[in-house]
Structure 1
Amino acid sequence: MQKLLTTFALACFSLSLQAQDLQAQISQKAAAILPEVIKWRRHLHQHPELSNREFKTAEYVTAHLRSLGITVQTGVAKTGVVGLLQGGKPGPVVALRADMDALPVQEKVDVPFKSTVTAEYLGQTVPVMHACGHDSHVAILMGTASVLAGMKKDITGTVKFIFQPAEEGPPGNEEGGAPLMVKEGVMDNPVVDAVFGLHISSAIEAGRIHYKPGAAMASSDWFTISIKGKQAHGSAPWNSIDPIVTGTQIINALQTIVSRQANIVEAPVVITVGKFHSGVRNNIIPEEALLEGTIRTLDSKMQQDVHQRIRRTAMQVGAAAGAEVKVTIDTKTLVTFNDSALVQRMVPSLQKAAGAGNVATMSWVTGAEDFSFYGTKAPAFFFYLGGMPKGADPRKAPGHHTPDFYIDDSMLDTGVKAFCNLVFDYGQALRAKK
């Protein structure tokens, strides 16, 4: 018995030394690749492409993956790229995702790699900028591929690199993004056992990682409320059914869903009307009005309940005014849900990457991410990586999707280390169970 215990202890000690050696290799290789990661990120920043139009970005990624000997599939969900790296030991399939698209935003930040690109968007010529940090996501995953390809023999299982287009939403009526990636089988052949993703943050200090178990980011629904009234001269409103007044009443009533109906102790709810179209002349009460907005919820049951309340509220306010009202709700993303068991198991991997003192939990975010669709196919974990210059005030950090968006890319290797540690630790944990 004593001999058996001694053998077991030696085996555990040997595994511990191997794990320490792998972690040291990851740190060294990530640090060595950092200059390249920064170079890739700045190249992509200077050459941004809009959703479903990431042709050059896809070529850039494909060339890099093939140079590493990684099997590559292109044209997934229009411009997506998927790489497959088979490790030296049998084990699970771990997917890592980066989004590639930029936004129709004109950059104001004066950096040497500033974007001056323009492109066509919905029939208009628009400026294009990586105003949400997807350039850094792509560069981090390219760096991760470099490190893991160099450690291939030590990997337990298979790594699937997902470079996804159109996270910001495909233009017009096109399909795209994570829903189309999933539809075209990115989580199959081979079947993914766990999927990880990250997002850079301009308001979290560089080198830090924040995460939240369970519901982490909101679902995103877009709604349209069309109101048909009766046109009349502005001097005789009693002859009209005024869609503008009805629309304002609907807007006010929608806010009572948040303030008086939804149980926001369970989860936050946001209802925002962002567009109000009506009228052509100042002395004519028009026949029609159109409201458009977004709904954010962090609970799927609450999401459906809010949908019903919006429909009922708008219809009844319209009926009271004598107007015809139609409500359309289009779900763009689901709640981004971090599998609690997976989070608990993998947080130590993030702590290895950033240091235990630099990893912290966060509150839920009412922004949305189509990464949520991957979580319908496998346990998922999505976390935030800091990109704010050290010592800066997060309250003054330029927001995402703004012309002033800026990140410090000097510590993007933290993201590379995080992804690499997640791959190794997940595979070894499953192997140890067996």
Structure 2
Amino acid sequence: MRRLLAASTLALTLAAGAAHAQAVPVETVDAAVQRILPEVTAWRRDLHQHPELGFAETRTAGVVADHLRALGLEVRTGVGKTGVVGVLRGAHPGRVVALRADMDALPVQEATGLPFASTATGAYMGATVPVAHACGHDMHIAMLMGAAEVLAGLKDQISGTIVFVFQPAEEGAPPGEPKGGAALMIEEGALANPKPEAIFGLHVVPGRPGTVFYRPEGFMAASDRVDISLKGKQTHGAWPWRGVDVVAVAAQVVDTVNTLTARTVDPTTTPTVFTIATVNAGVRYNIIPDSAALSGTLRTFDVTQRDALVARANSAIGHVAEAYGATAEFSVKQNAALVFNDVGLSAWLAPVLTEAAGQGNVNPATPPTTVAEDFSYFQQVIPGVFYHLGASPDGVDPSQSAPNHSPEFSPNEKVLPLGVKTHVLTALRFLERP
């Protein structure tokens, strides 16, 4: 009799577990997203009007934390200075998955003409600068806040736990800070207690509204900051032979970098971009200065190839300086690692995103892009996938629409519900996996 009762109890338990694991219908998700869309739009516009630079997202973090608490989530603030982590525990035990959004704005003077355009300012490198959400992070925050509300409303149907990561300083470590937002949040336990099995994130970019695109393996480039310091000998501009002309050396350095990239890297194997973007030297038209400072960015998709190019550049720049009688110091600092989408998760995700966006609107094999994202650091700890949402204005050719970081960048608010829906379905379907 005891065996029979035990067997019956086990059968009931398994049946209950199976019931809990049933998929939430996409129609249920659609209806919930539409109900909260006015809120999501209002959050986006409020956040757009009140942008904050990296590690200064105090108001933004407060808006996020208050919302998550109102939903009944466990909330931790100050994770990575201004980061916020919310934990939603479903009614039944199960897996753990994470969703991430970035919160920081840029030192950009907005020129979108929107009625809710930013007029905010902030402190950057010792100066007061205009600040704007010129990369779409306001959209990302609003989407993930909306997803948290939808998922909290489905708590009784969820088996497992969802971790919401709202990250500061995605645009890189601010001057004087050793680490950016993702690395610091990880260091301070954003992916611990509970530890997710996987993490997913998104970004709005130029593209046909309603489309989703990404790729397995290397998707977004590793980004390094390059600094070059040249030392020569000051002299009169009329007597260049009496000194060491660092301006001429700087010109040769730029040419050397461009030649190294074009002539020593096979472009058919991995994209590589090495750009010198600033050259600073001198104070007067007829004085050859004694020093020059150059800076730039290196974007790569292969660690071994990147290391080899850095070594060649260091050696070549040193030789150029030596030929003129100058000296050179060369340094490289990583801003973001390679966004490497887990192969298995990438394949699993394609039908989930199609469920959200519709047939023909998902491309899981898009070419890699040389822009960077520090979501990559989360992927170094747990498997993850990062994908893009097309968000060009209606009627505008995506190839001609203003890019991210432009003063005119204005992502299409019509993609807000899709972003909420991709977040929600990604989390639900991951937790529903057998």
Same fold (TM over 0.5): yes
Q: Does 1:282 align with 2:285?
A: yes
Cα distance, 1:266–1:15 mapped onto 2, change above 3 Å: farther
- Structure 1, residues 380-412: CA drift from partner, whole Å, max 9, x if none? 100001211333211220111111111111231
- In structure 1, what is the Cα distance between the partners aligned to 2:366 and 2:314? 33
- Give the alignment of 1:197-212 within 5 angstroms: 197-201=201-205, 203-212=206-215
Aligned-residue offset at 1:319? 1.6
- In structure 1, what is the Cα distance between the partners aligned to 2:44 and 2:181? 21
Aligned-residue offset at 1:18? 4.0
3-state DSSP of counterpart to 1:410 = helix
Residue 111 of structure 2: aligned partner: 108
- In structure 2, what is the Cα distance between the partners aligned to 1:403 and 1:41? 18
Q: Does 1:357 align with 2:360?
A: yes
- In structure 2, what is the Cα distance between the partners aligned to 1:151 and 1:36? 18
- Structure 1, residues 228-283: CA drift from partner, whole Å, max 9, x if none? 11222222222222111111111101111211101221111111111111112222
Aligned-residue offset at 1:183? 1.1
Q: Structure 1 unaligned segments of length 5 or more: list them.
A: 1-10
- In structure 1, what is the Cα distance between the partners aligned to 2:127 and 2:74? 38
Query: Which aligned runs of 4 or more in structure 1 are off by greater than 6 angstroms?
Result: 14-17
Aligned-residue offset at 1:15? 7.9
Counterpart AA for 2:201: G
Q: Does 1:399 align with 2:406?
A: no
Residue 422 of structure 2: aligned partner: 418
Cα distance, 1:176–1:259 mapped onto 2, change above 3 Å: closer
Residue 374 of structure 2: aligned partner: 370
Residue 347 of structure 1: aligned partner: 350
Counterpart AA for 2:336: T
CA contact 2:393–2:401 (8 Å) conserved in 1: no
Number of residues of Structure 1 aligned to a counterpart in Structure 2: 417
- In structure 2, what is the Cα distance between the partners aligned to 1:252 and 1:303? 19
Counterpart AA for 1:374: F
Cα distance, 1:89–1:301 mapped onto 2, change above 3 Å: farther
CA contact 2:65–2:84 (8 Å) conserved in 1: yes
* TM-score normalised by the chain length of structure 1: 0.93
- In structure 1, what is the Cα distance between the partners aligned to 2:107 and 2:239? 43
Q: Does 1:165 align with 2:168?
A: yes
3-state DSSP of counterpart to 2:221 = strand
3-state DSSP of counterpart to 1:402 = coil
- Structure 1, residues 150-203: CA drift from partner, whole Å, max 9, x if none? 1112222110000001111232112431110111121112112100000011x2
Residue 48 of structure 1: aligned partner: 51
Q: Which of 115, 118, 121 pairs up with 2:121?
A: 118
CA contact 1:346–1:425 (8 Å) conserved in 2: no
Counterpart AA for 1:56: R
Task: Determine what percentage of the aligned residue pairs are the same residue.
Answer: 45
3-state DSSP of counterpart to 1:395 = coil
Higher deviation after alignment, 114-123 or 345-354:
114-123
3-state DSSP of counterpart to 1:275 = strand
Q: Structure 2 unaligned segments of length 5 or more: list them.
A: 1-14
- Give the alignment of 1:321-332 within 5 angstroms: 321-332=324-335
- Give the alignment of 1:8-47 within 5 angstroms: 18-19=22-23, 21-47=24-50
3-state DSSP of counterpart to 1:77 = coil
Higher deviation after alignment, 392-401 or 70-79:
392-401
- Give the alignment of 1:380-391 within 5 angstroms: 380-391=384-395
3-state DSSP of counterpart to 1:34 = helix
3-state DSSP of counterpart to 1:204 = coil
Higher deviation after alignment, 70-79 or 357-366:
357-366
Residue 194 of structure 1: aligned partner: 198
Q: Which of 60, 63, 76 pairs up with 2:63?
A: 60
- In structure 1, what is the Cα distance between the partners aligned to 2:37 and 2:306? 41
Q: Which of 302, 307, 310 pairs up with 2:310?
A: 307
Counterpart AA for 1:405: F
Q: Does 1:148 align with 2:151?
A: yes
Counterpart AA for 2:267: I
- In structure 1, what is the Cα distance between the partners aligned to 2:80 and 2:260? 37
Cα distance, 1:16–1:245 mapped onto 2, change above 3 Å: same
Aligned-residue offset at 1:379? 0.5
Counterpart AA for 2:141: V
